[in-house]
Chains A and B, each alone.
Chain A
Amino acid sequence: MNEKLETIVKQIYQEMKNGQIPKVELKSRNKENIIFDPKTSVWKYGNNTVKRYASKASSAKGILKMLHIIDFVDEMTQGLKTSTLREMYYISEGWNLGKFESQDESDLMVEDLEVMTNYLREEMRLRPEESGASVIGNLTLTELNRKGDKKKINCRDDVGDGGYTIPYNVEKEKVSLVSSDVDFVLAIETGGMFDRLVENRFDEKMRSLLVHMKGQPSRSTKRLLNRLNKELGLPIVVFTDGDPWSFRIFASVAYGAIKTAHISDILATPTSEFIGITASDIVNYDLPTDKLTDKDTEALHAELEDPRFNIPFWKGEIETMLKLGKKAEQQALAKYGLDFATDTYLPEKLKENGII
């Protein structure tokens, strides 16, 4: 039995044995308890904690549900199985009062357990539904496959045009990074732009590793970026659409997100660079645009309040975008031809940012 999970159960058991109302205690997971850690340059949970006592039916049910998850994880560990978060949610149908009302609820509770134990949900054999993003470029790694063999893969030569698919667990026991012959990693938001760069052989021409984030990147994608940076010393460059939501993608890659602030250390890559599309790009390259919607404007204003954007570069970009009232997609660069992004825009911007 996993030691830290067992500790939680022991504590609950002991409290009941002592005639005390059982409780669970964990770091408060709201916005107010997110603080900047100067040592690691990422945003983490602060020291505020919440105690959930079983004196209320709702909290007591929460504790019961948590016990069910722990028991379930233990069973999976013994049977060497894994389960998706969704599968666990359906399995909870049979947990009587410990049944979850929604998958959001069960996902949140798994994160609660991560916060309490510092174990990753991947280590608890729970994985997300969505398939991982893809990687193309001259990177060699080994992956432990389901047969138990360590398979060596070169992400340029051993894969098709779809690239190497990032598995849900990219921890060392599963994936080890062997070597690379690239100068930087380019993390791309949209599939359209990723395919364009692949077709134009940007990875070879510019000695780069292309990572398709598929919108807001999954934990495993962020974790892989973190490891590429830490272990292989590769700079991470983020290339997204030019709108408030893409700014948030960058922030979560670079500084972490509220939901995962307990594991910012291993997910966030604070040295990541944002290359574009910036509000200034819209002006400088005279890109085709869309008007900001009310929600966009609201999001930009919220970002002005967000500590992660509290640096002059971002303040300037956000304010410029608000002033313009406009946003642009990555593919807007096609205004100047199919090769413009790879031959002109990216080299210019990479030079500007000192990457090459």
Chain B
Amino acid sequence: MTEFEPERKEVSISEFFDKNKQMLGFDSPQKSLFMTVKEAVDNSLDACADNGILPEITVRIEELGKEKFRIEIIDNGPGIKRTEVENSFGKMLYGSRFFQERQSRGQQGLGISAAILYAQKTTGIPTEIVTKVEKEMTAFHFVLEIDIRKNSPHTISVTPEIWDVKSGTRIVISLKGKYVSGKQSVEEYIRETAIANPHSTFHLILPDKAIDILRSISEPPPVPIAVKPHPHGVELGELISIFKDNERETIEGVLEDKFSRVTKQVAKTIVEKSKLNGKKINKLSRDDFEELMKTIKETEFMEPKKDCLSPIGSEGLFKSAINSFREYHPAYFSQPVIKGPFVFSGHPFLVEAIAIYGGDLPKEDPIKILRFANRVPLLYQSGSCAITRAISSLTWNQYGFSQPVKDQIPVGPLIVAVHLASTKVPFTSEAKEAIATVPEIMDALDIMLKGVARQIKTMRKKEAHKGQVEEKFALIELILPQIAQKSGKILKLEPPDITPIISKVMGVVAFREINGELFAENYTEKTHSFKVVLKGEERFTESVKNLKPFQKVKLNFSKEIISSTEIYVDLPEPILLGAYSLPKVFSDE
């Protein structure tokens, strides 16, 4: 038993932090400021998500002095019960989510405590938290610090405070930091967060600007469902902890109750196979657990339940892409592509993406990749991330993008936003900056990206077609009239009437008004039957049957009707040019 002790013991928090500064993302003033905002915002969004609240979050950054900043984050989340504030904010590794599998942003409850500790170490200013739950009449204002020797949170003061909201939390942290704009900045982080959370509204008050990003959908995503861990998804430490938390049960009982997809029968078989029949949990040695683990790994289970994932979804991705990238006037937004759920190591996951193409996006630069894991943007370590790798490994040439170096990011006016949702995102490190290249995830990304790239290819073809159409119009509206004018001028004759040529070039039926009467002339190579509709205050229709090539027919509308209406023609083919309105020439409507 004693041999498990180090696993459970909480190391000195200060020592832990110092050792793991880099891993936790607090290795430079710039990144520390960024991480603090990120941890607080992620917490706020998670709290809202768990309670079905549409988040509205304010981030305010003020410069206090050289490399000294005051960061304030206000949310409309559920608030934190008075009794839990200390633990929520002050204690490392505290979190109610342990041994529950569900899609969430923070996975270990480590981040915000690290930020508070960092702030305290660099400025000596304690953190302030104001929080109100719906049930309470008032909010409570905590001044909190972390007792480094005792390794526990310490409340300096608590005072009730009037805060006229239903519920919410406000946290103020003063730290040593560096404010930047541009790449890997707070602004970029919030902008991208808004993309992955289209139901959220953000107010940013930064030292150099203020930005409001309003939500683009007004339904909160469904509350993520917590599921018991799948036996293939737990590691030895977790396995031991789960059993130690349920020492009074039988081994079979714990297997059946605390894990998903384990039936009574299977639980029994596992125990027998591991030769642990009748053993009490508190008598289990480390070797016993290892044996149990081995059996579990060898046993086949049904795949984990997959309905616990919450994708951003088609509508969300589409609307947030429009909301965020409108300023580039893109030529297209792809349809979002969602693949999954699939499973890796007992954890369900899905991937989804949207692409934004053209407009003012730079043509000569590498494409822009936006990476998200469980609705959190990933801004660092792009190169080692599964998403970047999957994009680079696609052969982009076949989709019409140049890829100067094989297996590198292609070049072109394109943004690809990719989201991975999972009950457990396999990050490459504790800083949660890059997704590991797990084979199942790579495969899913590959299929999905191909789906997106194909769409872009198709859209580019259409763009080329649009170019052709525009060229035809230049031809008939500008060039041919000028040829007519010029040839007439040289020969000192009236310029020829080019309407028939226009029709020929366009491949359509022309409608001409001659002395107030309307004629239809077929300059195509086929015979056509169609309906002519004149729309004004009223509608007037006339059918034309079998109008042969080069045939001209007078329509029987009165001059009054013709002059007071617009013409629409129902012509099944040939339709080269859709809904363009041309004087006297119509193809289809």
Contact = CB atoms under 8 A, between A and B. Distances in A.
B496 A13 contact: yes
Contacts of B489: 71
B479 A54 contact: yes
Given A13-B488, A13-B491, A17-B496, A67 B504 contact: no
A57 B475 contact: yes
A9 B490 contact: yes
Given A54-B475, A57-B474, A16 B501 contact: yes
Interface stretch (A58-66, A145-153, A329-337): A58-66
A71 B505 contact: no
B192 to A, nearest CB: 43
B490 A60 contact: no
Contacts, number: 75
Nearest to A96: B482
Contact of B496 (A16, A54, A63): A16
B487 A67 contact: yes
A72 to B, nearest CB: 10
B504 A61 contact: no
Contact of A67 (B486, B496, B505): B486
B480 interface: yes
Contacts of B500: 19
Contacts of B1: none
Interface centre among B475, B484, B490 (most CB of A within 10 A): B490
B11 to A, nearest CB: 70
Contact of A21 (B472, B484, B496, B501): B501
B520 to A, nearest CB: 16
A20 B474 CA distance: 18
Interface string B271-290: 00000000000000000000
A68 interface: yes
A22 interface: yes
B493 interface: yes
Interface string A50-92: 0000111100110110011011001000000000000000000
A22 B498 CA distance: 10
A64 B486 contact: yes
Given A12-B483, A68-B486, A71-B486, A19 B491 contact: no
A97 interface: yes
A71 B498 CA distance: 21
B471 interface: yes
B504 A19 contact: yes
A60 B480 contact: yes
A57 B490 contact: no
B574 to A, nearest CB: 15
A325 interface: no
A131 to B, nearest CB: 33
B405 interface: no
Contacts of B486: 64, 67-68, 71, 98
Nearest to B483: A64
B579 interface: no
B471 A57 contact: yes
Interface string B494-537: 00111011001100000000000000000100000000000000
A291 interface: no
B478 interface: yes
A9 B491 contact: yes
Interface centre among B486, B491, B493, B501 (most CB of A within 10 A): B486
Given A16-B501, A21-B504, A55-B505, A97 B482 contact: yes
Interface range on chain A (Cβ under 8 Å from partner) = 20 to 34
A13 B496 CA distance: 7
A296 interface: no
B483 A22 contact: yes
A224 to B, nearest CB: 34
A4 interface: no
Given A54-B479, A97-B482, A20 B491 contact: no
Contact of A9 (B472, B475, B487): B487
B472 A57 contact: yes
Interface in A1-21: 1, 6, 9-10, 12-13, 16-17, 19-21
A63 B504 contact: no
A92 to B, nearest CB: 13
A14 to B, nearest CB: 8
B506 to A, nearest CB: 10
A97 B480 contact: no
Contacts of B483: 12, 16, 22, 54, 60, 63-64, 67
Contacts of B498: 16
Contacts of B480: 54, 60
Contacts of A74: 490
Interface in B444-487: 471-472, 474-475, 478-480, 482-484, 486-487
A13 B487 contact: yes
Nearest to B506: A55
A16 B480 CA distance: 9
B479 to A, nearest CB: 4
A9 B478 CA distance: 19
A6 B501 contact: no
A96 B471 CA distance: 16
A135 B484 CA distance: 48
A64 B482 CA distance: 7
Nearest to B521: A19
A16 B479 contact: no
Contact of A70 (B472, B474, B490): B490
Interface centre among B475, B488, B493, B523 (most CB of A within 10 A): B475
Contacts of B482: 64, 96-98
Nearest to B473: A57
Given A13-B491, A13-B496, A71-B490, A60 B475 contact: yes
Contacts of B501: 16, 19-22, 54
Contacts of A67: 483, 486-487, 490
A290 to B, nearest CB: 37
Nearest to A60: B479
A57 B479 contact: yes
B479 A64 contact: yes
Contacts of A21: 501, 504-505
Nearest to B505: A55
B471 A6 contact: no
B110 to A, nearest CB: 64
A17 B487 CA distance: 11
Given A54-B480, A64-B482, A12 B475 contact: no
A60 B476 CA distance: 10
A50 B505 CA distance: 19
A68 B490 CA distance: 9
Contacts of B478: 97
Nearest to A1: B490
A6 B489 CA distance: 12
Contacts of A56: 471, 475
29 contacts: A1-B490, A6-B490, A9-B490, A10-B491, A12-B483, A13-B487, A13-B491, A13-B493, A19-B501, A19-B523, A20-B501, A20-B504, A21-B504, A54-B475, A54-B480, A54-B483, A54-B501, A54-B505, A57-B474, A57-B475, A60-B479, A64-B486, A67-B486, A68-B486, A74-B490, A97-B478, A97-B482, A98-B482, A98-B486
Interface of B: 471-472, 474-475, 478-480, 482-484, 486-491, 493, 496-498, 500-501, 504-505, 523
Interface of A: 1, 6, 9-10, 12-13, 16-17, 19-22, 54-57, 60-61, 63-64, 67-68, 70-71, 74, 96-98
Given A10-B491, A16-B484, A54-B501, 12 more contacts: A9-B491, A13-B488, A16-B483, A17-B496, A22-B483, A54-B483, A55-B475, A60-B475, A63-B483, A67-B486, A71-B486, A74-B490
Q: Would you list the 3 A-B pairs with minimal beta carbon distance, nearest first?
A: A19-B500, A16-B496, A67-B486
